[in-house]
Amino acid sequence: MKASELKELSVAELKEKERDLSQELFNLRFQKATGQLGNTAMVPQTKKDLARVKTVLRELEISGS
């Protein structure tokens, strides 16, 4: 997921994506802890995607004020 793609989304869509990614990260960490996670590279990738979403939300918050 690229930041340029995220900048095209609305604030509501970004907040929903943030919630979804947080839930997905929780599930991935849980699967990793129980030994059920096959692709361990998904954890850092999801963390990076979540950080991108939060960064774009913060940029919109600053520019809107």
Extents of the domains making up the chain: 12-59
- 53 and 6 Cβ atoms separated by less than 8 Å: yes
Q: What is the pLDDT of residue 3?
A: 86
Fold of the CATH domain 12-59: Helix Hairpins (1.10.287)
Backbone region of residue 48 per phi and psi (left: phi > 0; alpha: psi in -120 to 50; beta: other values): alpha
Instruction: Read off the pLDDT of residues 7-16 as tens digits, 9 standing for 90 and up.
Output: 999 999 999 9
CA dihedral 25, 39, 3, 48 (to 10 degrees): 50
Structure tokens at 38: 């096959």
Instruction: Read off the pLDDT of residues 8-59 as tens digits, 9 standing for 90 and up.
Output: 999 999 999 999 999 999 999 999 999 999 999 999 999 999 999 999 999 9
